[in-house]
Structure 1
Amino acid sequence: MTVAQLTVALRAYRTGLVLAEPALAGLLSFRAWRGKEDSSRLAERRGMPGRPRPPGRLCWMHGASIGEALSLIGLVDGMVDRGFSVLMTTGTRSAAELVAGRLPAGAFHHYVPLDAPRWVARFLDHWRPEIALVAESEIWPNTVMALHGRGIPLLIVNGRMSERSFKGWSRSPRTAEALLSRVSVCLAQNQDDAERFARLGAPRVTVTGNLKYDSAPPAFDEDGFAHLRGIVGDRPLWVAASTHPGEDAMVARAHLALMADLPGLLTILVPRHPHRGGDVANESETLGLRSARRSQGDAPHGAVNLYVADTLGELGLFYRLSPLVFLGGSLVPHGGQNPIEPIRLDAAVLHGPHVENFAQVYGSLDRAGGALAIADERDLAATIGDLLRDPTRLQGMAAAGQAALRPFEGALDRTLALIEPFITQVTLSAMANP
């Protein structure tokens, strides 16, 4: 399709983003001033290359933030093994910091440009990818149209379309179809996601499963682990991970309720956004707990009640340290956080009622006994107390959680198998046009 054949909404969007370039540049500068963008690499967000293009075949992969980007690492390895260089883009600093350290030789990180037509064109002119893989539901109209116009196949992998997003796109069905009809293949996480993509106009949809089930456990520093284990000793311990505003105080009050029955109890609280570490520590101090912050170099020595782990990329360390993990975003209406990593690292999992973003996996874990749903902070405190006093039950939950995940594995192999025809096409094209 040409621009003239696009819907009115898409034409307006495209024109608006052309005219909005100066405002977008100002927005990026403002975000950099606030620390939300990497000021040293801000030009990348305007499509300017941060390095030369490597020779040979190039695959562009995009994961918007931490979860999406990390789910792609197995595919990165697979494409590198197949002779491609991989350009991995993200849109957030936190994802960039984590992903850059996990990429294999042959892959490198770059920030994704904002969806302004000239910036996207500049990005594609330099990198000239032969294939583009986008995680979950990142549908940026100008980028989709630019890839299609250049004949670059775009694949949605680990595709996810929530009911809320589906309802939003359904209000503009012709626009949704105009975009999704340009997607070469949509590889969805489950049947519900697949049906939503298909109803919105994606012509070729297949269920491959969730790549996160096949992700390697998060890395950790062995010396740091040994050091922390020595400090903690045999204190009773639990982790509250990826907490959101409103949950931090619940966690602190749960600790207060347990102190008398569990002498020496240590709570490690990992806020979803590390910049909130200071506020979390102050709030716990106000409630009467002694806190310490990892970002300040503090350690959880014996006098510390609540250890605020306000750093990035260390969940693997804390999941290995604790037999019990409460996952945040679930006692407040956020939709929950991914439980796969703590389960993989032999932790029993607790969660609140708001886990609709991961309903399938939590349902399986709850039925198997690898995870427990708690209703509120009072229930949280009572359940933590019961479990920490019963190590055998904790071990049983961890084993049940591992078993519950096994039927979901295999998404990586299925995804790579369905990408193979595109790899063959790229290879034949390269042979025909050396």
Structure 2
Amino acid sequence: MPRRPLALRTYLAYAHGRKAGSGAGRVPLPERPAGPLIWAHGGDRESGRSLGNLCARLKQQAPDVTVLATGSCTTCPESILADVPPELPADVTRFAQEMRPEIGLWTGSELRPALMMALQDAGTRLFALGAAGDGYTTPSPRWAPDPVPGTLGLFDAVYPASEEAERQLRRLGVLPTRLRAAGPFMPAPLPLTVREEDHEELAATCAGRPIWLAAHLRAAEAGDILSAHKRAVRLAHRLLLVLVPENAEEARGIAAAAAASGLRLCRWDAGELPDDNTQVLVVNDGDDLGLWYRLSPVTYLGGSLVAGHGGHDPLEAAALGTAILYGPNVGKHLPAYTRLAKAGAARIVQGDSSLASAISALVAPEQAAAMAHAGWEVITQGADQTDAVIAELLETLDMVPAGGEDD
């Protein structure tokens, strides 16, 4: 193995020196499953969610793969959750040797040099996804040489978040042969399923009617949604609103607000279908949310007009071809909303009045279609990089023996 850079050797010496006085206990590790294992670490909430989406898509093509998730990567189905070990030589060596992941996926700007070195020594192929060009941090002391360039050099493949990030990563010494095509790391969640029979029946029932959807709705914002609908109906008399709550608890408050609104209701879960007089279709849960996205050219995504929820992932809706409206409280998903808004696929509203105006403008089919198309282009751009990452991961898995198999 080539001699490691001075900065990494200095960092390891520092990590060894911390060991005696750290007082850290051993981090419990799950039992390593048989077969290929991919370790996925989310450095922050947004990148962790994207990483979870990527792993879910990977498992569709390689169902025998198990994902070991650490950090903020908590959204991949059937993954094993664990804590990332502290930067102590014994802990990182134990993690690398006991878990023996074939592949490690890393997102975020907080690098862990000792952990990366231990994994490289154990034969793990390391991938940096959505890599920024600057802002990296490590636990290294200020007096030591910067270990960031050396740590980035431990990755077998680096996917830059942008062309500017790619230029900066080159200046940090990342080899051109390890740099991949630049692009934002934003894999969309798996598309929601739709029963085609239901879609065809409802599309025929509502033929010619403009429809808009309030999805992942909270009871506290139901009043604004219903008020906006009343305003919009004055200009589009056949306009139909579909209300889909975030959960069963919110559903009760939403149903009560709808009943008190004076609008003509239809209750989907009672087996009712909308007729020409129906103004609001009330749904009890999100089981058929894919159906409602497909039917509705325009969607307001809930949890965003009221504070405390942080909004909902807009890529879910954009992937099914609907224009997106949202309120100002989307902090949990701000990068995704920002990207969609810049592309013209999403529009912010501030309350019932601006929501009503937006709905009235988007009743024109060409307006909503243009926004939906812009959203689809954003999804497609992200899909290209997602496909490239998955293809490389599958190729890598084919090249290395599964660490969980018996010798």
| TM-score bracket, shorter-length normalisation | 0.5 to 0.7
Quick check: 2:218–2:254 contact (8 Å CA) kept in 1? no
RMSD between superposed Cα atoms in Å: 5.4
2: distance between equivalents of 1:229 and 1:131? 45
User: Cα gap change, 1:407/1:67 in structure 2, threshold over 3 Å: closer, same or farther?
Assistant: closer
SS in 1 for 2:25: helix
Measured against aligned partners, the alpha-carbon deviations of 1:264-308 in whole angstroms (never above 9, x if no partner) come to: 73232453xx476257537846974789999xx566765784636
Measured against aligned partners, the alpha-carbon deviations of 1:128-158 in whole angstroms (never above 9, x if no partner) come to: 3222224x4396858656534534222123x
SS in 1 for 2:292: helix
1: distance between equivalents of 2:10 and 2:212? 55
User: Residue 113 of structure 1: CA displacement?
Assistant: 0.8
Normalization by structure 2: what TM-score?
0.64
SS in 2 for 1:137: coil
Residue 34 (structure 1) aligns with: none
1:110 to 73, 79, 93: 79
Residue 87 (structure 1) aligns with: 66
User: Cα gap change, 1:404/1:178 in structure 2, threshold over 3 Å: closer, same or farther?
Assistant: closer
Normalization by structure 1: what TM-score?
0.61
Quick check: 1:188–1:208 contact (8 Å CA) kept in 2? yes
1: distance between equivalents of 2:256 and 2:167? 44
Structure 1 unaligned regions, length at least 5: 22-45, 101-108
The AA in structure 1 aligned to 2:228 is A
Residue pairs, 1:93-104, within 5 angstroms: 99-100=76-77
Residue 3 (structure 2) aligns with: none
The AA in structure 1 aligned to 2:225 is V
Quick check: 2:341–2:347 contact (8 Å CA) kept in 1? no
2:250 to 277, 287, 301: 277
SS in 2 for 1:349: strand
Residue 25 (structure 2) aligns with: 18
Residue 357 (structure 2) aligns with: 382
The AA in structure 2 aligned to 1:277 is E
Residue pairs, 1:214-363, within 5 angstroms: 217-222=191-196, 225=199, 236-242=210-216, 250-258=224-232, 260-261=234-235, 262=237, 265-271=240-246, 274=247, 277-278=250-251, 281=254, 284=257, 288=261, 305=280, 307=282, 310-311=285-286, 315-328=289-302, 338-352=313-327, 356-358=334-336, 361-363=339-341
User: Cα gap change, 1:192/1:329 in structure 2, threshold over 3 Å: closer, same or farther?
Assistant: farther
More helix, by proportion: 1
SS in 1 for 2:335: helix
1:70 counterpart = 2:53: yes
1:60 counterpart = 2:61: no
1: distance between equivalents of 2:12 and 2:279? 64
User: Residue 252 of structure 1: CA displacement?
Assistant: 4.3
* Structure of greater Rg: 2
Quick check: 2:109–2:132 contact (8 Å CA) kept in 1? no
Identity among equivalent pairs (%)? 22
1:189 counterpart = 2:161: yes
User: Cα gap change, 1:363/1:382 in structure 2, threshold over 3 Å: closer, same or farther?
Assistant: closer
Measured against aligned partners, the alpha-carbon deviations of 1:10-60 in whole angstroms (never above 9, x if no partner) come to: 958x946527x6xxxxxxxxxxxxxxxxxxxxxxxx5333x8413xxx240
1: distance between equivalents of 2:201 and 2:91? 47
1: distance between equivalents of 2:259 and 2:136? 42
The AA in structure 2 aligned to 1:381 is A
Structure 1 range deviating more: 240-249 or 123-132:
240-249
2: distance between equivalents of 1:125 and 1:292? 59
SS in 2 for 1:219: coil
Count of aligned pairs: 374
2: distance between equivalents of 1:221 and 1:357? 31
Measured against aligned partners, the alpha-carbon deviations of 1:233-255 in whole angstroms (never above 9, x if no partner) come to: 77643223456797555434423
The AA in structure 2 aligned to 1:185 is A
1:5 counterpart = 2:16: no
Quick check: 2:29–2:82 contact (8 Å CA) kept in 1? yes
User: Cα gap change, 1:123/1:403 in structure 2, threshold over 3 Å: closer, same or farther?
Assistant: closer
2: distance between equivalents of 1:179 and 1:16? 26
User: Cα gap change, 1:110/1:422 in structure 2, threshold over 3 Å: closer, same or farther?
Assistant: closer
Measured against aligned partners, the alpha-carbon deviations of 1:304-323 in whole angstroms (never above 9, x if no partner) come to: 846366447x5433211211
Structure 1 range deviating more: 116-125 or 220-229:
116-125
2: distance between equivalents of 1:92 and 1:219? 29
The AA in structure 1 aligned to 2:368 is L
User: Residue 384 of structure 1: CA displacement?
Assistant: 0.7
Higher RCO (C-alpha 8 Å, min separation 6): 2
